[in-house]
Amino acid sequence: MSVALFGGTFNPVHLGHLRIAVELAELLEVDQLRMVPCSLPPHREALSVSAEQRMAMLQSAVANYPQLVADDIELQRGGATYTIDTLRQIRQQIGSDMPLYFCIGIDVLITLDSWQEWQKLGDYCHLVISPRPDYALPSSGALSDWINQHRCDDLPQLKQCSAGKLYFCDTTRLAISSTDIRDKIKHGDAIDFLTPAAVVNYIHQHDLYE
Ligand code: ATP
């Protein structure tokens, strides 16, 4: 089975996430695009909603899309969330031959060099980068060098090998963020059409983010 992973806090999941998840699943032709909520440090979770609630919202958002899967692999593991551990775990499930894609926004790519064992990520997966307004790539330094070394603009070539390349795709840029949704709720503003109706209902039923 070919798998793409799309990690995030999903606090809450919104249409910016879901639209690019659908586009990435089509573009990469994967059997599953797994959306993987990360665990948050206890102090951040105490201020926010629980991991179970983030997961429940994500599950309700993808319920009618068999290709999109809410995967609690990092929440189950608990503690600090290191992507490299998740990739190792998924590789054990799917073996070493199939392509594995790890999808992130450019805002996340530019922080990659602060991640645990970041230079080894390419041993396990391809990185697929979605654009977001207002973020630029670093022009020098270790991360910039790493990006240039691994960059591949040829999608068929990417699909032919199992890991090790970095691909920039042109998914739809929707200026929606979880921060903005949380702020709107605090101010008593509507959040309809920023996230699926099932998520809007869940948030209101559980008085989240107030
Ligand atoms: P917050 O506002 O709380 O920081 P967020 O909206 O950025 O949250 P995350 O859950 O942190 O959402 O993001 C998970 C992943 O989705 C990241 O790789 C991020 O780049 C990407 N992403 C989030 N929002 C969008 C969007 N509107 N368009 C494209 N990618 C997005």
Rounded to whole angstroms, the Cα distance separating 61 from 198 reads 7
Q: Which of 3, 30, 2, 4 is nearest to 104 (CA)?
A: 4
Helix (H) or strand (E) holding 183: helix 178-186
- With 80 as the cut, is the pLDDT of residue 48 above it? no
Which residues does residue 69 pair with via DSSP β-bridges, in sequence order? Answer: 34
Kindly report whether the global pTM for this prediction surpasses the value 0.85.
yes
Is the peptide bond preceding residue 12 cis, with omega within 30 degrees of 0? yes
Q: Ligand 1 centre from 201 Cα, in Å?
A: 21
Lining ligand 1 with CB less than 6 A are 8-11, 16-17, 20, 104-105, 107-108, 130, 132, 174, 176-179
Range of the domain at 35: 3-205
Residues 120-148: what's their mean pLDDT? 93
82 assigned to some structural domain: yes
Q: 119 CA to middle of ligand 1, Å? A: 22
The stretch 36-53 carries a mean pLDDT of: 81
Across the chain, what does the average pLDDT equal?
94
Residue 117: CATH number of its domain: 3.40.50.620
The DSSP bridge pattern shows strands 32-37 and 126-130 to be unpaired
Q: Which atom of ligand 1 is nearest to the CA of 173?
A: 28
What's the pLDDT score for residue 177?
93
Whether 193 is in a domain gets the answer yes
- Res. 8: pLDDT tops 80: yes
Ligand 1 centroid distance, CA of 103 (Å): 11
43 found inside a domain: yes
In a domain, 210, yes or no: no
- What's residue 154's pLDDT? 96
Number of domains in the chain: 1
**pLDDT tens digits, residue range 65-76?**
999 999 999 999
Choosing from 6, 9, 171, 186 the residue with most ligand 1 atoms within 8 A of its CB, the one to mutate for a pocket test is 9
21 domain-assigned? yes
The mean pLDDT of 117-143, rounded to a whole number, is 92
Using CA positions, which residue lies closest to atom 25 of ligand 1? Answer: 16
DSSP states of 94-147 as a string? H-SSS-EEEEEEHHHHTTGGGSTTGGGHHHH-EEEEE--TT----SSSHHHHHH
CB-based contacts of 98, cutoff 8 Å, min separation 6 = 1, 2, 3, 162
Count the Cβ atoms, other than its own, within 10 Å of residue 147: 19
pLDDT of residue 70: 98
Strand partners, 7: 36
Q: Given a cut of 80, is residue 45 above it in pLDDT?
A: no
Do the Cβ atoms of 131 and 90 come closer than 8 Å? no
- Asked if residue 132 belongs to a domain, the reply is yes
> Rounded CA gap, 169 and 118, in Å?
21
